[in-house]
Structure 1
Amino acid sequence: MIQYIAVALIGALVGTAAGVVLNKKIAAKKLQDANVLAERILDESRKEAQAEKKEYLLQAQDDIYRQKKEMEQELKERESTLKKQELRLQEKEERLQSKQESNNQKESEIVVWEKRLTKQERDLEERQQQLDEIIQQQEKKLEQIAGLTAEEAKKRLLADIESKTRHEAAATIRQIEMEAKENADRKAREILATAIQRYAGDYVSEHTVTAVELPSEDMKGRIIGREGRNIRAIEAATGVDLIIDDTPETVVLSAFSPLRREIAKRALERLISDGRIHPARIEDMVKKVEQEMEVKLREIGEQATFDVGVHGIHPELVRLLGHLHYRTSFSQNVLHHSLDVAFLCGIMAAELGLDVKKAKRAGLLHDLGKAVDHEVEGPHAVIGADLAKKYNESEEIVHAISAHHEDVPPKSVLDVLVQAADSLSGARPGARKELLQNYVKRLEELEGVASGFDGVSKAYAIQAGRELRVVVDCERLGDDSTYLLCKDIAKQVEEKLTYPGQIKVTCIRERRAVEIAK
């Protein structure tokens, strides 16, 4: 057994030794092969490096040659450019030399001319001195002959020129204004005639009394009541005067306010139909009628805006328009007058190519202040403008309302349209009435304004005070002075008098020659 183990060990050792020797031989073989491969790779690398070196050298030589060619070409171009620049510089130098020679020649000529001019200036100064001496001598001789100094003569000459110029200017102004006025009057007449022809509205004349019919004469006693308590209650509640006279079956209500008369009339008619007439019932009935009238006023205002075709007006302004139905001016119903003005403004605005709706709106609201002018101080035009502004009307509408009686100066065509339409509506025959005393006084004041001017021989107010005819003294005033007098009279009328619409001033100057043949 041990022998076998020993033999196996020895065999293993021998095998191991043989393997080591074999491995060494294999490693040596691989090393030798690697060295051979490395030498071959080195040889190939050297060959490739030499080939690349040759290639790089050839490429470098080509680049150097190419750059050399380019530099030579660039040098040639630069030489050519320099030669051209040299030629241009030579040409410029030659031109400068020629200009220098020309300037030298001109300078010499200028020196000669300066000498001549200096001599001429001295000659002119000497002549000017001589002329001044001669003029002074002549002026002294003229002053001796005329007996005036030069300053006095100058003043007299200027005065004559100013007088002639003033007359010529007056004549020119008169001609220009006459032509402009003729054209403007013709166009205005056409527009006004068109407006009047296209609008033919009725006018309503109001009075300050209202009659209430009674079913019988016995009702008068019931209205008066015991010791007059019923009639006093009616007058206290309505603010009107009850006139009970011998007129059969009629009671007259008298008050300046048509609205109060209407309330009193309706309340009295209902009391009469009801039959119960006593102070408590009277107060209840008047309050009820007043509430109904507020609704009625709004309905009247809405109907007016509908008739005109104007919308978007504040409800408070609509209510005030309803109040105008029960307000009069020179016995003319103010709401009907406002409708007239609205329609006339619309027609004239259409003729002029303006905004028709805006013109109607201004015309309808122009007398708005009359609805409250008994409660607020100031002109009704200004009051109406304040109301319109308060309830968000446009600036143009507000200014047209305030300017329709020239409480403020008009500044737009719309302002003038409202003025013209207001005058047309009020000036229609029968539209307005005026007290005889006031009418006569206004005419006398109008004639007195014209008679106060120097050179006026007679003055007449005609056409109900809408025209003033003035006859001037032909011996004292000429044509131009008459024209200026007419303008002065018109200006004085505007400043001193208050009148509706406008007044035409006509100055007449005529010379009559009379001779008697015997």
Structure 2
Amino acid sequence: MDTVISITVGLFFVIVGFMLGILFHRKSLKKTFDAAQMDSEKILEEANQERDRIIKEAHQEAKQENRQRRTQFDAEIKKRRTEFQKLENKVKNREQSVEKKLSVLEKKESDLEKMTGHLNQQEAHYRSMIKECELNLEENRKTLESIANMSQEEAKRELIKSLEADAKKAAQERLRQIEEETRVEADRIAQSTVSLAVQRVSSEYVNDSTITVVGLPSDEMKGRIIGREGRNIRAIEQATGVDLIIDDTPEAVILSCFNPIHREIAKISLERLIADGRIHPARIDETVKKVSSEFDQVIIENGEQAAFDSGITDLHPELVKHLGKLKYRTAGQQTVLQHVVEVAHICGIMAAEMGIDVKKAKRAGLLHDIGKSVDQEVEGHHSKIGADLCSKYNESADVIEAVLGHHTEELNFASPLTIVVHAANVLSERRPGARREVLETYIKRLKAMEDIVNGFEGISESFVIQAGREIRALVSPTGISDSEVIDLSNDIAFKLRKELTFPGQVKVTVVRESRQVDFAK
């Protein structure tokens, strides 16, 4: 029972405490609410004051901006009014200028109308004068035709023919003058260059031959060379490919062969056999083989020496070998090797005078006849064979072209290097002592020159003199005039150059002479 009372008393105190807490909390909430309400009223009042201040400031700013815009607008209006005033003044000035121009144009228009009327009158007058002139010209033309017995077209043709003759005569005179000036200058330069080249080049002479003479210590050696029943001589001929001629010539035998290399091998082999004294077929074969193997080195040494003498040190070994073979081939009074070295030197001198690459010119001159080393084995002209060899061993295009064209007569489109090699080749082979001309060929050339000259119309006689260096042609004085003689000499020279090949140059002299004979009795 006490417990229930205690619980009841406890509950009572709890309820009373709870109620007291609620009352206390409500009182604190009221104080808080009253304080918050006072704060809100204060904030509201401050906000209203701030609003009034902002509105007042906005009104003031708006008024200030309005005043500024008003001022700007007034200034802009004033500026526009000034511009409008200026434009108005400008328009007024333009109007005044246009009015003045219109008045001037009206005046000019009236003047033009007056001038047009005057010109119309003059045009009518001139037309009447032109018509009158045409009538007069027609009357004069008819009068001239009746006097000259010639129509207008015929008169035109006669006039044109006369003008053409005068123009042709003037052109011929000018052409002759230019040719003479060019010839004098060309002769001066050519003589200077060629004389310099000739002075600086010298060479030895050899005889052009297909035989070689081998000396013997005594005539008894001939029998040993022949051998029993001719077996030794047959062995020599079979091993070397040459013909061995043993005749009555004292202490000498003759080797005959068109191949100079075979002939040289046979000569060296025979000299060694004679010196050794043992001459029999086995020894002959052994000696010829040994000489042939050694001869390849001799050929290379000859080619290297020629290249060294020419100042060319970078030739292909095969080209050097082909070059060495040229020593054993002759042309006129020279070996071909001497000829190519001489041409190389002349090319170098001429190239230096002309401003061309001297080393390339010497190279082309040295290789220009390289084809002659194998032309007995390969078909074709030696210039084409040489060009193929140079191309095979990587020579330059300029050198190949010069080698190919060094015998070409048409040099109008040739390169300067080709022309230099061509000229140097001609200079080397046609100088005195370098070549010998066969009598039959010489006579045929002179006869061909006479036939060409006699083939021209008006030539009565012709004479080839100075060993083919000059031609004198006599013309009939009644058939050709003095001015036509010059053209005839030019035509003869041109045809000789075109149809014949001759050393140096040929002087063409055309003689026209009138003679009148009378007798006093």
TM-score range, shorter chain: 0.7 to 0.9
CA distance in 2, matches of 1:65, 1:267: 136
Query: Could you tell me how far apart the structure 2 residues matched to 1:293 and 1:207 are?
Result: 21
* 1:183 alignment partner, one of 182, 185, 196: 185
SS in 2 for 1:251: strand
Which range is displaced more, 279-288 or 75-84? 279-288
Taking structure 1 as reference, are residues 246 and 153 closer, same or farther at Cα in structure 2, changes over 3 Å only?
same
Q: Give 1:242 deviation, angstroms.
A: 1.6
| RMSD over equivalenced CA pairs, Å | 3.5
Q: 1:288 to 1:125 in 2, by over 3 A?
A: farther
Are the structure 2 counterparts of residues 295 and 463 from structure 1 closer, same or farther at C-alpha, using a change threshold of 3 Å? farther
CA spacing shift, 1:45–1:267, aligned 2, 3 Å: farther
* CA deviations over 1:323-355 (Å, ceiling 9, x no partner): 322222234222221221221121122222232
Report how many residues are paired.
518
* Corresponding residue of 2:486: 483
d(CA) in 1 for partners of 2:163, 2:340? 55
Q: Does 1:465 align with 2:472?
A: no
**Which structure 2 residue ranges, 5 or more long, are not aligned?**
none
Change (3 A) 1:151 1:62: same
Name whichever of 183-192 and 385-394 sits farther off: 385-394
Residue range with higher mean Cα deviation, 379-388 or 77-86: 379-388
Q: Can you list the C-alpha shifts for 1:387-414, whole angstroms capped at 9, x where unaligned? A: 4344443333333333332255343333
Alignment of 1:263-302 (within 5 A): 263-273=265-275, 277=279, 282=284, 285-302=287-304
For 2:416, the aligned partner's letter is V
Check if 1:44 corresponds to 2:46: yes
Q: 1:362 to 1:83 in 2, by over 3 A?
A: farther
Identity, in percent, stands at 46
2:428 to 425, 428, 437: 425
3-state SS in 2 of match to 1:211: strand
Please identify, of 304-313 and 359-368, the stretch whose mean Cα deviation from structure 2 is larger. 304-313
Q: CA deviation at 1:281?
A: 5.5
Distance 1:514 1:391, change over 3 A: farther
CA distance in 1, matches of 2:323, 2:462: 42
Inter-partner Cα distance in structure 2 for 1:229 and 1:101? 136
- Aligned AA (2:446): L
Farther-moved stretch of structure 1 (392-401 vs 417-426): 392-401
Structure 2 partner of 1:348: 350
Secondary structure in structure 1 of the residue aligned to 2:322: helix
Instruction: Work out whether 1:148 is the aligned partner of 2:158.
Output: no
Q: Give the partner amino acid of 1:334.
A: V
Instruction: Provide the residue aligned with 1:317 in structure 2.
Output: 319
TM-score, normalised via structure 2 length: 0.85
Please give the alpha-carbon distance, in whole angstroms, between the structure 2 residues aligned to 1:216 and 1:321.
37
Separation of aligned partners in 1, 2:24 and 2:278: 159
Structure 1 pair 498–180 and aligned structure 2 pair: CA distance change class (3 A): closer
8 Å Cα contact 2:446/2:464 also seen in 1: yes
Q: Give 5+ residue unaligned stretches, structure 1.
A: none
Alignment of 1:415 with 2:418, yes or no, is: yes
CA contact (8 A) 2:205 2:333 kept: no
Answer yes or no: is the 8 Å Cα contact 1:461–1:468 preserved in 2.
Answer: yes
How far apart, in 1, do the equivalents of 2:110 and 2:283 lie?
Answer: 126
1:161 to 160, 163, 180: 163
C-alpha distance in 1 between matches for 2:381 and 2:520: 64
1:214-257: per-residue Cα shift (whole Å, max 9, x none)? 34544433433444344334334433222222223322222233
The equivalent of 1:252 in structure 2 is 254
Q: Aligned AA for 2:501?
A: T
- Structure 1 residue 457: Cα displacement: 5.0
Give the distance between the partners of 2:233 and 2:81, measured in 1 at CA: 133
- Cα deviations by residue, 1:117-155 (Å, 9 ceiling, x for unpaired): 444344334333333333333333333333333333433
Mapping of residues 386-425 of structure 1, within 5 Å: 386-411=388-413, 412-425=415-428
Q: Residue 435 of structure 1 aligns to which amino acid in structure 2?
A: V
* Matching residue's letter, 2:175: I
Q: Counterparts of 2:51 and 2:276 in 1: how far apart (Å)?
A: 142
Report deviation, 1:439: 2.0
Offset at residue 427 of structure 1 (A): 2.6
In the superposition, the TM-score normalised over structure 1's length comes to 0.86
Q: Which letter does structure 1 place at the counterpart of 2:194?
A: L
